[in-house]
Structure 1
Amino acid sequence: MLFKRTVISAALLLTISTSGYSQSVEFGDPNLKAAVEETLGVSDPTSADMEKLTVLSAVSLGITSAKGLEYAVNLEEVELDFNRIQDLAPLAELQNLKKLWMCDNDLVDISAVSRITSLERVQMENNLLSDVSAFAGLTNLIELELDHNQISDISALSGLRNIEILELENNRISDLSPILEMSKMSLLNVRDNPVENYEVAVKLPMLQYYWIGESSVIEKLQPMFSERSNFIIR
């Protein structure tokens, strides 16, 4: 009798443990769920299914919430461009995420991104961003594209020394001095900004492409870069 009770207890514990591990996933948007189902080839994904998700592309689907992706703990690349997402909190614990594409959404608060220290490439063009402090500690970033937002202060980016591509076109930036420590940068785009110190970019030793968009400024700066072969400024 004791042996039978032990077996039953063990089986019950195993059932509870398994059901807890493979719990059903609640998505905040049916279109996101459909995209995940199509990618995984399953219906009603469980948390165990979500662990198999490494790459997701769900573009132009009218998605309003990323809820459900918090279970995709092995996700490395996600493309959610051209949706209507405002909150990135569900992505905050995805420590394997390297590529995050969120162009043309409704992002305002991206504070959750500060916890995704694995990020290497981020695109958040055409959103409603004004505060970039969430990127301050993301020292693995190689590419950061924030064109067409409402950014005026980029001082929080000053410690991102591995940045190679920085796109900031059409914002409200006047001071470029925070980029001075980005010694690996090869491309800088600051078109359509009220920049007052374009010349600081001369101190970036690896810079090869400098997008300014103002002919008078370009004419003034060209001699400063004259010794660099294959340098393009426009």
Structure 2
Amino acid sequence: MENTVTGNNSIAVHCKGLTKSYGSGSNQVHALCGVDLEVRTGELMMLVGPSGCGKTTLISVIAGVLDRDGGECLVFGYDFKQMNPPEKTRYRGRNIGFVFQMFNLIPALTAAENVAVPLIINGAKRREAVGRAREILCRVGLSDRTNAVPAELSGGQQQRVAIARAMLHNPKLIVCDEPTSALDHETGHKVMELLREVAVGIGRALIVVTHDARIFGFADRIAKMDDGRITSIENSRIDLSSNTRH
């Protein structure tokens, strides 16, 4: 695995000229068109913009879920393109938590077992991993649902299970795709408070894709995207709600 250092240890994510396309020929779609973005350690960065502007593609490339076509993308100084598949899997398993918009829970597993998966993959004993999973499920308000399978949970409860799973292995970077979309106002704020507590600190960072103007105040900075590019980065105090609706 090659470690390419950005030269500034306060930078968690460094993207320069990042490109990504889907399809080919006349059907080719340019999802990322030269994205420049830096996310600092200790920061909660929000990505906002209209549907289809490239937000989910961007965080998927940053998290190593998708391969980029061109440009640079370093995560704590490491470049996924310089890693072979096992190295990439190990790095992501230790350092990155991803909250998918569709949750990606395993239907046959209980909530606690779903949350425990990252620890088990990283070599923890099942009993220990499930025990820690139960603890974090309590912190997201699901102490009474730890033994329920996904089909027995509401959309909001499944979302909280997915968030707990992303936080459990104490990753350096947590990436969230619409983490509060299925949550009421109070629960959404509690979840964001927990995400800030867990993910924003020395040597850590949090990236949140959202259309939810109710949580903008949790951000340190808000990056606006449109047509596959970052168009501006604003202080979170700026009211961007009129530009982030579907």
TM range (shorter): under 0.3
TM-score computed with the length of structure 1 as normaliser: 0.26
TM-score computed with the length of structure 2 as normaliser: 0.25
Q: Larger RCO: Structure 1 or Structure 2 (Cα < 8 Å, ≥ 6 residues apart)?
A: 2
- Of Structure 1 and Structure 2, the greater helix share is in 2
